[in-house]
Amino acid sequence: MLHGWTATADLNWFRCYDALGEHFRVVAFDHRGHGSGLRSKKRFRLEDCADDAVAIADALDIDEFVPVGYSMGGPVAQLIWRRHPERVSGLVLCATAPIFNVERAERLGFLGGSALAAIARITPEQARVWLTDQLYLQRKSREWEPWAIREASSHDWRMLLEAGAALGTFDSTTWIGDVDIPVSLVVTMDDPVVSRRRQTMLFELIPTADVQRVPGDHGAVVEGAERFVPSLLRALSSVERRQQ
């Protein structure tokens, strides 16, 4: 289970665990710089997140698995297949796309994230705390439970800002169409973050993909879990069926 940018595994997937656990072995972890994820002085790369997932599978003696990626987790899942195709038996891509910086406003946003990431590398800890407060927690504290705020406040914001910059340069449009394993897409139909148009690009590139459509925005995995979770289960079942 591969979570989205600025989330953690539990923030992203906590409303899915019970239902998925009734049918599948579920492994979820925090990406680098997110929550309790690895800390590194190296610049954040999505490729490293993909390799981390395979390393975790190695440690758990899992030979093959189905990466389930949400938002930023989608590029990580795609890169797992590209870098380690022998380990992947299917893909489930949720609320995600093959490219992210399509619109001018998005390009400017990702460029801004890159600049902030560079600043965060050289500023003292107090400045990083300020970034956490200004960029995230003030907007969420009125909506989230205390445990969720604690999860978010544990991020390494320099790495998260670099993650945003990495997401802005991700582009799988030239190679994801070569995927040769079952793929299911879960499309969030009213998503202002990863637009339906960009999510649909994956289906255009992978015409054999099964598609599940979920009413809701980018937070549908939590706020619309009563609709999202059954769709995710159908997506996983479709991948499982086509493996046989």
| Predicted confidence (pLDDT) at residue 29 exceeds the cutoff of 80 | yes
The two tokens of residue 123 are 């500023």
| Predicted confidence (pLDDT) at residue 213 exceeds the cutoff of 50 | yes
**How far is Cα 84 from Cα 107, in angstroms, rounded to an integer?**
30
| Predicted confidence (pLDDT) at residue 141 exceeds the cutoff of 70 | no
With beta carbons less than 8 A apart as the criterion, state whether 57 and 65 touch.
yes
Which of residues 28 and 150 earns the better pLDDT score? Answer: 28
- Please state the φ and ψ torsions of residue 53, each to the nearest 5 degrees: -60, -40
Average pLDDT value over all residues in the chain? 86
What does pTM read for this prediction?
Answer: 0.86
Domains of the chain in sequence order: 9-100+171-243 (3.40.50.1820)
Specify the long-range contacts of residues 42-48, CB closer than 8 Å, at least 24 apart: 43/162, 44/159, 44/160, 44/162, 44/163, 44/165, 44/166, 45/166, 46/72, 46/75, 46/76, 46/79, 46/163, 46/166, 46/167, 46/170, 47/79, 47/83
Q: What is the mean pLDDT of residues 72-97?
A: 98
Query: Dihedral through CA 42, CA 95, CA 79, CA 244, nearest 10?
Result: 150
Query: Dihedral through CA 239, CA 11, CA 163, CA 165, nearest 10?
Result: 90
pLDDT at 128: 54
Q: What percent of the chain lies above the pLDDT cut of 70?
A: 82
Q: Name the DSSP letter for residue 2.
A: B
- Residue 51: pLDDT band (50, 70, 90) is very high
Q: What is the mean pLDDT of residues 47-54?
A: 98
The two tokens of residue 181 are 């394993």
With beta carbons less than 8 A apart as the criterion, state whether 84 and 50 touch.
yes
pLDDT at 103: 55
Q: What is the mean pLDDT of residues 126-152?
A: 60
Least confident stretch, 22-26, 97-101, 236-240:
97-101
pLDDT at 126: 53
Q: pLDDT tens digits, residue range 142-197?
A: 566 778 778 877 888 889 888 988 998 999 999 999 999 999 999 999 998 899 99
pLDDT at 28: 98
